[in-house]
Structures are given as C-alpha cells and as structure tokens.
C-alpha cells in the first residue's frame, strides 16, 4: 500500500491511497478511507473474488473497531 502526499509544505495531506490486493484486509482498509473522504484505488490481480473458508471469528477488539 502506498499513499501520495503533498511534500515540502510542512503539512502532509493524503490525496489518495493505492491498495494492492482486494482481500479482506484491502477492502477493510478501503471502506474506512471512503467513510473519511479519502480516495483509494484497490488493485486486485484475480479475475474474480471467491469466498474461501467456513467463517470469520471476531474478537472483542474487532467488534469495537467495527462499531466505530
Ligand atoms: C483454505 C483456506 C481457508 C481459510 N479459512 C478461514 C476461515 O474459515 N476463517 C478465517 O477467518 N480465515 C480463514 N482463512 C484465512 C483467511 O483467508 C486469511 O487470513 C485472509 O484471507 C487474509 O486476508 P488478506 O486480505 O490479508 O489476504 P488475502 O485474502 O490473501 O488477499 C490478498 C489479495 O491480494 C491479491 N494480490 C496479491 N498480490 C497481488 C498483486 N501483486 N497485485 C494485485 N493483487 C494482488 C490476491 O489475489 C488476493 O485477492 C483461510 C485461508 C485459506 C487458505
């Protein structure tokens, strides 16, 4: 993942975030960035997204983060 920043002004402003990989982590980053008004671009090498596994276990800290 990389972010483009305006440099040299003393202040760094994030204009956009490039996210490599549209797995759960990539998408979990893209959503809150969108909510905060920060543009992101998710690049995924697979032609389609497939569900893998049986379920997701979310512990207390995970639920706390999701509720924010
Ligand atoms: C068979 C199997 C069963 C599983 N079952 C469970 C389960 O039941 N419950 C559970 O919680 N977890 C399960 N897991 C683990 C879970 O899948 C991973 O922890 C989780 O997917 C990791 O998410 P991620 O976003 O970090 O990576 P990934 O899900 O691997 O996503 C990374 C993405 O990046 C893409 N990518 C990689 N390189 C590039 C590139 N250079 N350019 C563009 N795109 C790229 C890949 O195509 C992929 O889509 C299972 C894993 C496997 C393999």
Q: Is 51 in the pocket of ligand 1 (CB under 6 A)?
A: no
Assigned domain for 31 exists: yes
Count CB-CB contacts under 10 A for residue 21. 15
Q: Is 50 in the pocket of ligand 1 (CB under 6 A)?
A: no
Q: How far is the CA of 9 from the centre of ligand 1 (A)?
A: 38
Q: Is this prediction's pTM over 0.85?
A: no
Query: Is residue 27 exposed (0-12), middle (13-18) or buried (19+ Cβ within 10 Å)?
Result: middle
Assigned domain for 36 exists: yes
Q: How far is the CA of 50 from the centre of ligand 1 (A)?
A: 10
How far is it, in rounded angstroms, from Cα 34 to Cα 36?
Answer: 5
What range defines the domain where residue 20 resides? 13-46
pLDDT in tens, 5-55: 555 666 677 779 999 999 999 999 999 999 999 999 999 999 998 888 888
Assigned domain for 21 exists: yes
Q: Reduced to 3 states, what is the DSSP secondary structure of residue 33?
A: helix
Residue 4 pLDDT > 80: no
Q: How far is the CA of 13 from the centre of ligand 1 (A)?
A: 30
Assigned domain for 3 exists: no
The structural domain count of the chain equals 1
């Amino acid at each position: 993942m990389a972010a483009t920043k305006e440099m040299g002004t003393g202040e760094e402003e994030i204009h956009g975030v490039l996210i490599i990989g549209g797995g759960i982590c990539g998408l979990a980053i893209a959503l809150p960035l969108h909510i905060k008004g920060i543009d992101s671009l998710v690049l995924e090498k697979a032609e389609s997204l497939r569900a893998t596994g049986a379920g997701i276990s979310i512990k207390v800290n995970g639920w706390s983060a999701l509720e924010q």
